[in-house]
Amino acid sequence: MAGTRDIKRKILSVKNTQKVTKAMKMVSSAKMRRATEATLATLPYATKITEVTLSIASCVNDVTLPLLEKPKSVERVALLVMNSDRGLCGAFNANIIRAVSKFQQEHKGKEIQLYIVGKNAYDHYKKGSLEIVDKWISLGGKVSFETAKYISDTITSAFLAKKFDEMYMIYNEFKSVSYQAPREMKIFPLSLNVDAAETDTEYLFEPNPVGLLEELLPRYITFMIYHSLLESAAGEHGARMVAMDNATRSADDMIKKLTLNYNKARQAAITNDLLDIVNGAEALKG
């Protein structure tokens, strides 16, 4: 019965793993729901700050501000990469890594600097050839406005100090629970689509629109970072929930197969024992 004992140990091991995957699925489901609610709660603010920023920009489109100033040539490109701290979330992290590789090919010959959010991406690139300027890791999947502001202030100061000519951001955009798509977005220099400023609201500026825009642009950048962090967090938890659900289903299928093999092995062992008894009885009669 040695074979049946091995199968029983495998069944027990798979059942223990299944308990873990079920628990992780439930935790990820709760976290995803909170992250999704936080993302949806920012939409009214997103709509209004975009409307106000574009409206003011349409009034001062003949003025060049530092955050809007385009470089004469692009030699150094910075990339803000958003990934997760932990794995076990399907292709969530791998999709970002592939998107960064594609970005490298598109900007071949230029110096690329990395600003990284997430331990997974940091572990991947820390031994590579790309320069990691700054990192924010071990956030535990928690997104706070303070963290977004700190990241925003850091990259804004670096751009104003001319440490790079352009900056892009790559993160997983939350489409649905089962689908997160890598998205590339340009951060610096800011490109405001003034033609999109369609609103019936008329604004009175005090003291002047240029001063207001200078104050508003850093807030606009901070919100871009914050909203991207929220979407990335929601996508991570959604991807992990789906991955753990698939793992739980696979464990269930494996348990069924192992149970069938166990029953077959047990039946074979019983049959062999019966044959030994019958053969022994026949030998005694003979």
Query: Alpha carbon 158 to chain centroid distance?
Result: 24
Q: Spell out the long-range contacts of 259-264 with Cβ–Cβ below 8 A and sequence spacing 24 or more.
A: 259/11, 261/7, 262/4, 262/7, 262/8, 262/11
Hey, which residues are catalytic here? Answer: 89
- Sheet containing strand 179-188, edge to edge, reads 131-136, 111-117, 76-82, 166-176, 179-188
Q: Closest by alpha carbon to 65, among 77, 53, 73, 51?
A: 53
3-state SS of 106-160? HCCCCEEEEEEECHHHHHHHCCCCCEEEEEECCCCCCCCHHHHHHHHHHHHHHHH
Geometric angle at alpha carbon 163, from 160 and 167, rounded to 5°:
80
Contact residues for 227 (Cβ-Cβ < 8 A; gap 6+)? 39, 42, 46
Dihedral sign for Cα atoms in the order 151, 152, 153, 154:
positive
Distance CA 243, CA 25 (A): 8
